[in-house]
Structure 1
Amino acid sequence: MKLIKLEALGFKSFAEPITLRFDGGVVGIVGPNGSGKSNINDAIRWVLGEQSSKELRGDTMEDVIFSGSKTVQPMNKAQVTLTFDNRDRLCSIDTDLVVISRLLERGKGTNEYFLNGEKCRHKDIKVLAMETGIGKSSLAIISQGTVSDIANSNDEDRRLIFEEAAGVSKYKLRRAESERKLINSESSLKTVETIVKELEKQLIPLKTKAEKALKYKAMFDELKTVEIGYLAHEIESNTELYEQLNNELEGVQETKDSYSREIETIKEQIHQKRESLKELNSKISKANGKKEGIESLLKNMEDSVNEERIRRNLIISGQSIVSEQERIQAIILELQTWESKEKYLQESLTESENKRKETEDKIKLAEQQVNETNRKINELSARLHKLNGRLEHLKQKLRHDTNLSRGTASIVQNKVLFKGYIGLVSELFSVPREYTIAIETILKHASQNIVVQNQDVAIKGIEYLKKNESGRATFIPLSSLKPKFVRDDYLMIAKNHRSFVGIASELVSIDERHQILNDYLLGNILIVKDIQSAAELSKTLENRYMIVSLDGNVIRTGGIMVGGEAEISNILGIQAHIDELNAEKPGLENVLHQLRKSLSNYEQTIKNDRVMFSNYDSRVMTTLSELKSAQNKITKFKTDISLSKEHNKDFNISDSSLSEDKIAELRRDLSVVKYDIQSNLAIKESVEADLNVLDEQKDKLVELSNALNTSFFEKTNLFNKTQNKLEKHKERLGEHYQLTLEYAKEHFPLTISLSQAREIVKELRREIDQLGSVDLNSIEELNEVQKRYDEHVANKDEVYQAIEILKQAIDELDKKITMRLTNIVDDVNQEMHKVFSSMFGGGTAKVEFVDPKNILESGISIFAQPPGKSIKNLKLFSGGEKSLIAISLLFAILRARPLPLCILDEVEAALDEANVVRFAEYLQELKSKTQFLVITHRPGTMSRVDAIIGATMQTRGVTSVFSVKLDDAKKLIDKENHSN
């Protein structure tokens, strides 16, 4: 592979396009100092990938672009192209010509590379240079400095020349990369092993927690399946029962109303019958009186007929008339007595009837009050039952949502062991419902913290958890807390904001003994209405305080904002609801107690009034009987008086007036009266019979009504219980399981009996409660940790295998490097003797490893024995000898490992003329395998090259190149020497 052409434009001093053709084996590049001949070397190095501007004798890479002169404008780009003959296919590109170009434009700062006209990468050029041996780090470019380095460097630095010659650079790079990877891999292995051990520690408790969680989940899934089926069946059956009871209650109410109407009707009938009976008794009483009068008159008349004669004889004396008048006067006096008694009895009867009616009205009113009180008791009992159900549901939900960590649950369950235990943070605060989201957002991470009196209690709790391996918990000792507050000036600003709600600590309630906890957790936190207001206020307060909106968005101190959908368990909200219900419950229970007490009083009043009613009723009947007797007496006395007056009137009547006609008439009157009496007695008996029937009907209806009231009360209780049960089941199905009845019926059919389902649910709940606190996240956490563990174990194995592979690779590379270095030293030693003898006119030289046992790190020494001298180390020779020995070494290396191209940049500058000639002549021996470009100003070299390229600056700052003859070259040299 030979370099056949170089083209450049804008590179350094090449302001005009140049084209250099390299035809011979040894081409000399000559010209005065400063003519730009070394720029040809720089151009070749630049195209082959040189990245160091210092190596190209500049400060920045743009310094390679022609910067202009007094007569020539600066150029904006530099471009150099090398063309190689690749017919020997030393380069892996399958073309006879390989063309490499590099372009740099001013201001862009990026280089462009081209290979056979196609754009490529810098890496592609480096690979090509390395595989052909013409790279910047090889022996393809040798300068005077290179010779000096070989001559004067220590053994370790000199080793680099041999490594380059041996071609081990790529192996060393690969070895360095492998070592870097090995170090990284070993570091990674330690890290992975540490992680694996840590994950193993995490897995042990996590497996326990996850097993518990899986057990809980399995039981919960079974509970869910059975309970949903049970709930669906219960809801359906209870709905039917609810509707049935509702219909029955409506029917019972209608029946009750019907009974009440019938009772009122019967009572009205009883009243009418009693009025009729009263009227009949009056008629019968009067008739009896009239009957007794007629009977008495009839008897008297019959007696008068027999005594007619006697009385006739006595008439004269007047004795009988006086006696009869006296009797009438006595009867009148007795009549007046009985009339007074009748009046008294009549008044007494009216009073008793009025009191009886009043008592009856009181009984009716009391019965209405009893019914109304029963209704209120039923409603209140149902409400209280519903409240208790709601309370129990909320308590269950609170227990479920709280989901204490293992450590916290352990302390709470054994709190009796810790004197000074106060409670969980979430239990100590009472929060109005409108503030629960904001307060719970603030206390979210502290809600499960355990509040204790002092540090001693906290230490005791921590030691307990550690001893029993019960997890971890956070303790808040009240004695260690200090209140937090908002500075007065900032607080004044906050209070004047339109959306300011208050300081969090002032919006909650807490036992005054624990006020320090409130001040510590909430004393310096502000509550506002919305996030926009929070942002405004936070900015005004210079982001000094946490501000929380009512819907749970937060601006922390420093201005960090946290918001979106509120992710809270609403524990405080549930607790607030429980507190409200607990506050409401005693009032309802007290009202219920008062109602039951009133009901008892009403029932006792009814009982007492019924006794009074019975007494008044008996008194009325007794008074009626007495009144009847008195009226009979009055009627009798009036009849006696009437008859006696008639008798006295007719006493002087003739005996003919006392005829049988009068007696017959009286007898007829008596028969009529008796008939009237019998008729009225029959009617009275019928009325009394009707009255008895009506009383029995009323009593039966009252009894039925009372029984119906009892049934109504029982059905109402059952209805309320069914309603509460139905609502509770619907609420659990809807809120807890988020399911509709139709979906539950379709997807969770109950395949066992209700009693079995009830027992299974009860048993599963008991078993779930026995599990205590469960961390459901532990399942996912275990899977994640197990996955990470498995990945890291696999990674550990992979890293371990990679380490072994890297070690093997390094061993292989070490063997290759050792073998190649050994070979190059052996090959160079074989050539060194020949080259040295030729260059020195005899003698010998050799190279040796300083430490043959450690070839990978050993330096390389050079020993030489010029003719007539003893062998000694290179460092002991003079400067000129050192340079010649170094050149001899380079030639030996080129003989051992020929390169397609070698650029020699004034390497013979330190040699005397005789040695320059030897140097130039030896190049002719090597040119068959290596193409030489020799930059020189030594005549001895110029005279022995195959072709010469001259460099000069006809225009200041601009290099021109041309071919010259040897004579012309000598003239240039002479001119240069003369100028020097």
Structure 2
Amino acid sequence: MRLTHIKLSGFKSFVDPTTIAVPGRLVAVIGPNGCGKSNVIDAVRWVLGEASARQLRGESMQDVIFNGANTRRPAPRASVELVFDNSDGQLQGAWGQYAEVAIKRQLTRQGDSTYFINNQVVRRRDITDLFLGTGVGARGYAVIEQGMISRIIEARPEELRAHIEEAAGVSKYKERRRETENRLADTREHLQRLADLQSELDRQVEKLRRQANTAQRYQELKAQIADKQNLFDYSQWQQALHQADSATTLYQQHGNAQESLKQQLEILEQQLQQLREQEQEQQQRVREAEMQRAGLREQWARLEEQIRHRRDWQQRIAREQTQAQTELQRLHNENIQQQQQLESASSELEEQQLQREEWALQAAEHEARMPELEELAHQGERTRQNQQNELARLERELAIKQQQHQHATAAIAQLQQRRQRLEEELTQLALPQNGELETARETAAELEQIVTTLEENLLQYEQQRESAREALLLAQQQYRQLDKQQLTLSAQVEALTAMLPQAERSSTEKETDSNIPLLWQHLQVAKKWQHATTVVLGHRLQALYTEQLQPGDTLPEHTTVWVNQAAETNRQKWATNALLQHIEVQAPFSEAIQYWLGQVFCAETLEEALLGQTDLQAQQLIITPEGHCIDAISVTLYAEDNGTGLLQQQQQLREQQQALLALEQPLQQAAETMQLAQRNLENTEERLNQCQQQLKQQQQRWQTASAQATELLARTSQGQLRQEHIQQESAQIISELAQQQHVQQQTQADTENLTLSVEQLRPQLQNHTASQQNQQQTLKQSQLALLEARRQQGLVEMAIVRLQQRIQTATQEQQRIARETERWQERQSELALGIAEQEMEDEQTLQTEELNTQIDAATEQCTTAQQVLEQLQQQLQHIQQQQHNLNSQLPQLQADTQTALLQQQEALLNARRFHETLQQNQADLEALAELFNHSQQAVPELNQEIAALAQKINALGAVNLAALQELEEAHERAEYYQTQTADVQAAIALLEEAISTIDEETKTRFKTTFDAVNEKVQSYFPTLFGGGEARLDMVGDDLLSAGVSIMARPPGKKNSTIHLLSGGEKALTAMSLVFALFSLNPAPFCLLDEVDAPLDDANTSRFCNLVQQMSAQTQFVYISHNRLTMEMAEQLVGVTMQEKGVSRIVEVNIRQALDMAEA
């Protein structure tokens, strides 16, 4: 098989459809730098399945599509196709029957990548499988790009092993082993899942047995606790009704006491106001007296401070004079010391300068002699080294030839024995029938897909069931919250209804006429002015209406005031700020309200009301929102509203009733939602059970089919592996026999010639070695003398520098001492002038005594004013204490009132809750009443009995009433899991046996190929280098994972690692390895991208000779700029870029051109 055409379109710089014909065995691709030659190599790697953009010199896979040029638009897609001539049938598999095979890859800008074989869409894996074991692939050794030579030679051991495996044809075995391992891992995972399920099922069975035993006991205890709970709820209901009546009475008592306490607080507030005004006047007198005394004390303090400041100043001048004298003496001593150091350093500097000149003369003499001695020594060393290298090269070549001769003799005998054994084994192989394995695989794959789909459906149903459960739980929770809100609002409505005046309750509960209206029921007052209206109307809010009143009529007991219909009177027009503007009144009370409130006006604040007090007439009032009343001669202040007025209660009752009505529809909707969620949960559980049954059936079928396919795969793999191995090894043995016989003859002749050359060269080397050692000794002595002179000269230079620094430092210190001496002398003169000043303290002393007398008089005046102020404060404190005592009682009364109201509401709520609980439980109230009256059992005793029963239920734990049915289903699942486990274990054993067979075959092939490649490397390396040695070493003991390293030593070198070689040497070493791989497992073609770039002409010539020899079995397509390599080609393919950014092809067939020239 060989490559015939490369077709490109839209790939990198090849924007136009381009076909490169490669009919010959040696095809050279040439052209200037940057014209797109390497894009041909990238195209071949890309179509073979390369998935890394970095390997194609790009950042993303979209970079392989032509991106446009100055006059070109970007291409929409990239396409590369390779056409192979398979007339020799080298390709295996389904495509091996075709005489011509074309593989193609297309990539669009949308990221769609498509592979084709003979215009049929295939997978990337199909392309890879087509060339397994041939060395051709995206990362195979058949495509050598720029830089790949150095990467091969510097590759890690595991990377180098991959190339050996490709040459051995192990890659397809590894692929089959990987598939078998994946299937084995899936099977083991399935077995683990079965074990987990079986373990979990065992725990569930044991748990279900315990649950079935406790279910009956649970039902008995549940019935007993229900009876006790009904009796307890009935007793709590009666107790709550009693508590509600008691709380109502207590609430009325606390309200009356609160009103009396507020009146006493108003009287005390007036007395406090008068005393506070007197206290402020007296405080002003005290402040004036204290300000006068403070001014006098400030004058006295200033005089004292002046006297103390003068005394401190005189003492400081004396101390500074003493310090100046001391500093002047110290500076004089330092000046003498620095002068001595300066004279000593100058003397030492002159001596060191003389020594520096002497050592400089000695160093110059030795330097003049050095060039002559060095030249003689180097010339002798070069001569000796050349002879030694030549001798070493000859000895290495001799050893290699002798070793090659021995290897060739032993290899011929081994190959003949191996060939005979393989022929015998080939006749005994038997393979399963064709198509049987594919049928089993397809059946298992179809069943696996069905099982996967059912498992996904089962997971979805389980998620739907959990969602349905959560929805049901949420609906139940929402229903309970709304029901609780309804109970709370109902209790509040009942509590507010119970707090309404007795007149209204009588009109509805007793036998009074329900048509008689109350005044407050016909009023609609703005919320802000409700309390103010209550203050003005007072008890009249509970008035009843009648059209006439006869003297003999009897008033009902609950009636407070009867209101007669008011007659028309002449009144002034209502003011714009009248209270009536905030009230809506219904007939028949409109006339009465106009009469009572016609002279009542509104003010936003108390200050505004007080300003309008002087304009009021008799019977006129000004009211504030807080309830403060102002008439023409008085002001009545009320405490803050506690929210319990009649109008406020009416407003609260209306709001609670509206909220209660608004809850009815949401409560009904919540109940419907809860029922719908319950039905949805039941439907989901039914679908889940059906899916579980289907999954159980399909899993059984899938396990059976998988076990059959695994068994057939193991048998087929073992037979095919062994058959292919025998055929390949037989062909390899025939080729190796011919090569080893040729090597045996050639190495015998080379060994004799090399032995003669070594014996002639050894005496010459000994003479040159003795002469060179004498020259080296003379040179070494001269070098040591020169180094000593230079060292002494350096020491003297350092000493001179240190002395110069000492002289400079001493001079600077003398200058600093002179400056400081001058500064201290000036300071001493200044201090002498300050001593002459004298203070006069007698006059200031007299002023101080006079100020003390004035301060005493002002202090006495302050004491008298302070005593008067303290008397006023005591009176004020006494009244404040009384006010505090009353105020401390008021919060307690208010808290008691509010507590009583809350207790009443709580009792009514509890009564409603217990009564509804009894109704929900469908309890017989008459029977419970009779039982409660006769049993005389206290509530704590009932609680203890209920708690004891509940404790017994809790002791039972979780109770599952459907335990028996679930236990039966668990037994069925356990039997199914046991059957599946046995099938899976049998399949695992079969797969492990297949993997063991593949491993043994892989070890044999790898070891055989490694030895053969190692032998070829040892042969090709001296051919390319003209000598030297190289070998392959195995890194590790395990043949399945051991890495491979290469050791190379060119002629004349003893390097310890291959990384010490030059670029050209690394390239030749890598080529010897690549050619060794090709000689064992020749690839259909080989692409080389400038691998000869680091080689000189001599190495290039040897490289070309080897490529020409190997071209008999492998087609070479290479890129080169080397003239010698171009001359070797049978066909030249020129790549040009006349249009910027666009590559074009120019082809020249060298053989046809030569034939035309000769003709």
Bigger radius of gyration among the two = 1
Higher relative contact order (CA 8 A, sep 6+): 2
Q: TM-score, normalised by structure 1?
A: 0.44
Q: TM-score, normalised by structure 2?
A: 0.38
